[in-house]
Amino acid sequence: MKPRQKRIALIAGGLASLALAAMLALNALDSNIALYVTPSEVAAGKAPQGKAFRIGGLVKEGTVKRDNMTVHFVVTDTAKDIPVAYTGILPDLFKEGKGAVIQGKLGGDGIFAATEVLAKHDENYMPPEAQHAVDQVKKAQAK
């Protein structure tokens, strides 16, 4: 092999082994990289016990109730539900039926005591008229 070919082979080999190492590392870290767990994972006992963590899911329709400064709602992944209590300011995009990521601790009473509520919006961008049309179709399908 010429020195140039040798160098190219070395670089290619180095990159391939690096990619493999990174893949294995990421695979091992998998659950630690996740920002939140879903209500189903909490129900399956995958949430850290006695420690603060984040749950992510949809704010269940018709469950948001305000009681003075405290907001009660239910977060769901459509399979499992978790009731949440939060005292503080909610982001503007926090809405029933929309995504949210909630940090806090699971109390003994099964209610998730939140310290922070973040809104998670989706990747769709459209004018209000188009959104209205989409909503109409969804309503028609639900009937």
What is the binding site for other proteins (CB under 8 A)?
4, 7-8, 11, 14-15, 18-19, 22, 26, 30, 33-38, 56, 89-94, 101, 116-128, 130-132
Closer CB to other proteins, residue 97 or residue 108?
A: 97
Dihedral, CA of residue 73, residue 101, residue 116 and residue 45, to nearest 10: 80
* Shortest separation between residue 123's beta carbon and other proteins, angstroms: 4
* Shortest separation between residue 96's beta carbon and other proteins, angstroms: 14
* Shortest separation between residue 108's beta carbon and other proteins, angstroms: 26
Closer CB to other proteins, residue 61 or residue 116?
A: 116
Which amino acid, residue 128?
P
- At 51, list the tokens: 């420690």
Closer CB to other proteins, residue 108 or residue 124?
A: 124
* Shortest separation between residue 111's beta carbon and other proteins, angstroms: 21
Distance CA 28, CA 21 (A): 11
Closer CB to other proteins, residue 70 or residue 135?
A: 135
Residue 73's alpha-carbon distances to 2, 44, 93, 103, 141, in angstroms, are 69, 21, 15, 14, 26
- Round to the nearest angstrom and report the end-to-end CA distance of the chain: 71
